[in-house]
Homo-oligomer: A and B are copies of this chain.
C-alpha cells in the first residue's frame, strides 16, 4: 500500500478564460478586477468559494498564475485562492522561491485580505508585493473566519520586504462576498456551526 498522490488543477473555465492571455494589466484596479472576476465566476459556476487571486509579473504587469478557492471540490482545506495562485506561479516559474535570481519580481493580488494561513504562505512564497481588495472584517462580517493574524500584519510583511497595498476596489470585492452570502453560499469553518 502507498499513501495517495495529491493533485489539483484549476477549474476548466479558468484555463479557457486566461490560459492564452499575454496582455498586461497596467493598473492596480485592472489587476484587482481580474481577481474579483475570478471570485465572482467561481461562485457563479459553482466551482468553489467567493475568493479569487492572481500572481503577476510586478514590472511587466502580466499574469503568471491565477487562483480560485477550490477547498470543497478538491477536498483540501489549504486550497484558498492565494495558495492556489502561489503554488501554480512556483510551478510555472520552476522554483519554490519566487524571489530567486533570474525570476521576475512577483506580486500577489487577492480579492480579500489573506487569512492566517495564506498570510504565512505569502511570507515563504517570495512575492514582493501583496495587493488586497476586501478587508478581513468584510470576510468576517459574512461569517468567514480569517484565523488569528498578528494585528500589525502589514508591518510584519513590510519588515520582510513585502509591500502591502490595501483597499483596492474594496467595495466591488465586498459585493462579491455579500452576493455569496445572500445566495445562501456555504460558509465552512471546522469545529463550529456553519452560519
Contact = CB atoms under 8 A, between A and B. Distances in A.
- Size range of the chain A interface in the assembly: 35 or more
Contact of A190 (B3, B115, B123): B123
A162 B145 CA distance: 15
Interface of A: 1-10, 14-15, 18-20, 65-66, 71-72, 74-78, 83, 86-88, 90-92, 94-99, 115-121, 123-126, 128, 145, 147-150, 153, 156, 160-162, 188-192
A78 B124 contact: yes
10 contacts: A5-B8, A77-B86, A77-B90, A77-B96, A117-B119, A120-B148, A125-B190, A126-B191, A148-B153, A148-B156
Contact of A96 (B76, B145, B147): B76
A77 B65 contact: no
A147 B147 CA distance: 15
Contacts of A188: 96-97
A3 B67 CA distance: 10
A6 B7 CA distance: 5
Given A74-B96, A78-B78, A118-B120, A91 B4 contact: yes
A130 to B, nearest CB: 13
A177 B50 CA distance: 40
Contacts of A14: 3
A125 B115 CA distance: 14
A6 B9 contact: yes
A155 to B, nearest CB: 9
A86 B10 CA distance: 21
B124 A161 contact: no
A86 B97 contact: no
